[in-house]
Amino acid sequence: MQEITQFGRRGLKSIIFVLNNNGYLIERLCKDPNIAYNDVASRNYSEIPHALGCQDWYTTCGELDKAMDVAGAGDVPAYIEIVTDTYAASPLSMKLHENITTLYNA
């Protein structure tokens, strides 16, 4: 998060994506997915740039198409939060999960 402050301070027009799945997916895939440690308290992530002094940034947790249009225009920095299902995992993550399961069972 500290680097967001630097982006704002230097006037960089960055595009930052935050993938919010309510916790630590990789940890969920490694052992017991229901361990409370893996759950993260709900936060207002889209307000982080403003809290760090980046007042002119476009921030959203809304529709991706609109966010991409604004970000693509390049007029202002953008901070886009993408909310996914708690257990949504990429194919690579699932492959890692399969390999770790094999290792733990050895």
Q: What is the pLDDT of residue 57?
A: 84
Residue 106 clears pLDDT 70, i.e. is over it = no
What CA–CA distance (Å, rounded) separates 22 from 8?
Answer: 26
Burial class (CB in 10 A: 0-12, 13-18, 19+), 20: middle
What CA–CA distance (Å, rounded) separates 106 from 96?
Answer: 15
Smallest Cα–Cα separation from 26: which of 41, 43, 42, 40? 40
Query: Mind listing the pLDDT tens digit for each residue in 13-31?
Result: 888 888 888 888 777 877 7
Query: Mind listing the pLDDT tens digit for each residue in 58-101?
Result: 877 778 888 888 888 988 888 888 888 888 888 888 887 777 76
Domain with 7 in it: 2-105
Q: What is the pLDDT of residue 75?
A: 87
Residue 34 clears pLDDT 60, i.e. is over it = yes
Q: What is the pLDDT of residue 105?
A: 62
Q: How many residues does the chain have?
A: 106
Q: How many domains does the chain have?
A: 1
Instruction: For residue 5, give both structure tokens.
Output: 């402050």
Average pLDDT over residues 38-47: 81
What DSSP character marks residue 47? G
- Please report, as a single letter, which amino acid is at residue 63: E
Average pLDDT over residues 37-41: 79
CATH number of the structural domain spanning residue 29 = 3.40.50.970
